[in-house]
Amino acid sequence: MENDFARFNGLLTTLDELYESLYSAMRLAPTAYFANIDDVTKEDFKAFSSGELMLGHRDRFNVQAQMRCLNALQCFHRPSRDISGRVAGKYPGILLLENHDDVIDTIVAINTTKTAIKQCVQDVDPVTGAHRRNHLQKHEFLHQHRGAEIISYQLYRHIDVINCRPDTYTALKSVNFYWAYKNADQRLLPDRAKHYLYNCNSGLNDEQLKALSQQIDDTRHSHRFYVRKTRNASVNVSLYYGAVDGKPVVNTINAAQPIILCNYEDVPTIRPLSTHVPQKRKANRQGHAWVCLNEAMNLYTRPITYKDIEREKFQDNTINTMVEN
């Protein structure tokens, strides 16, 4: 453990030195953008997670945005103990780099060091790749060493560098920041759904459980069953490269930290972060066809669609082809 702490310390020192080297060498264009998003306190996290809290933000541009972006790239801690660590670390922004060739090796070294830090905390087995520390042990290792305010995923996150002109015919035209509202859906076969029903701490009595179980049996051939958990809203950025053969060329990535653009001729249009609309999370969960069987268990059902049938036929045909070959 002591050797791990020493290595961890050394890697953090190396990381600080690499950032200092990067910031002293990089040459930035005047155009920049940063979205300063409100923090979420631990007390307010439940309201945010349930889609009842709207997050405000303030747009920053050019010099102010550059300073915020540079600080954010090197920010690995919560502002205070009152801030929820599950939401902290949202720093959407854009920097335009003018001397890519001069600093790309330093950026690669930063990302390599971040990976080494992550592996040190996880205590990765060099042969099997398995983590020799469980989640709690990783948490204790980090927080004993760097305090409870450290944000591990921000410490591990690589710097993204986007080539604005990946080929002769394609050029980045616009950058669009927006809130993403997604569900994490886990499909359950009917018998598995019934097993989940009886083994989940739902607070339902025997009569209620029996009625839901019967509903699953009655609709097992016409409906799908899912556990639906709404993820916390995140910020994405859509990179639009124009159209090829009439089809838009778009790349979407997570924008939890500032993104560096390079190799551009014309500065892309930057569309600031859209307004956070928490109600969309509930709307996404419900949808047109979804029926909630039990909200406490996040158990939902919906009718089988034509697309479901076609998708399963395709999967069956693919499997049969693989078996035959």
| Domains in the chain: boundaries | 2-181+234-274, 183-229+287-324
Residue 130: strand, helix, or coil: coil
- Give the DSSP H/E element, type plus range, for residue 236: strand 234-244
Helices (H), 51-127: 62-73, 100-122
Q: What's the angle, vertex CA 98, arms to CA 250 and CA 63, rounded to 5?
A: 90
What residues have CB less than 8 Å from 15, skipping those under 6 apart? 110, 113, 114, 117
Of 177, 209, 213, nearest in space to 35 by CA: 177
Which fold is adopted by the domain 2-181+234-274? Answer: Replication Terminator Protein (Tus); Chain A, domain 1 (3.50.14)
Q: What is the pLDDT along the chain (325 residues), one digit of tens a residue?
A: 558 888 988 999 999 999 999 999 999 999 999 999 999 998 998 888 777 888 999 999 999 999 999 999 999 888 888 888 777 778 999 999 999 999 999 999 999 999 999 999 888 888 888 888 888 888 888 877 665 578 888 899 999 999 998 887 789 999 999 998 877 788 899 999 999 888 887 778 889 989 999 999 999 989 999 988 777 788 999 999 988 888 888 999 999 999 999 999 899 999 999 999 886 655 555 555 788 888 888 889 989 888 877 777 666 565 555 455 5
Sign of the CA dihedral with 148 first, then 135, 157, and 65 last = negative
Beta bridge mates, 270? 175
Predicted confidence at residue 287, as pLDDT, reads 53
Q: How many residues does the chain have?
A: 325
b or e along 284-306 (b: 16 or more beta carbons within 10 Å of the residue's beta carbon)? bbeeeebeebbeebbbbbbeeee
Distance CA 85, CA 9 (A): 22
Residue whose tokens read 């890519």: 100
Distance CA 100, CA 180 (A): 30
| Residue 291 contacts residue 284 (beta carbons within 8 Å) | no
Predicted confidence at residue 228, as pLDDT, reads 81
Helices (H), 131-173: 135-146, 152-156
| Residue 250 contacts residue 241 (beta carbons within 8 Å) | yes
Which pair of structure tokens corresponds to residue 211?
């009625």
Neighbouring CB atoms inside 10 A of 320's CB total 10
Neighbouring CB atoms inside 10 A of 131's CB total 15
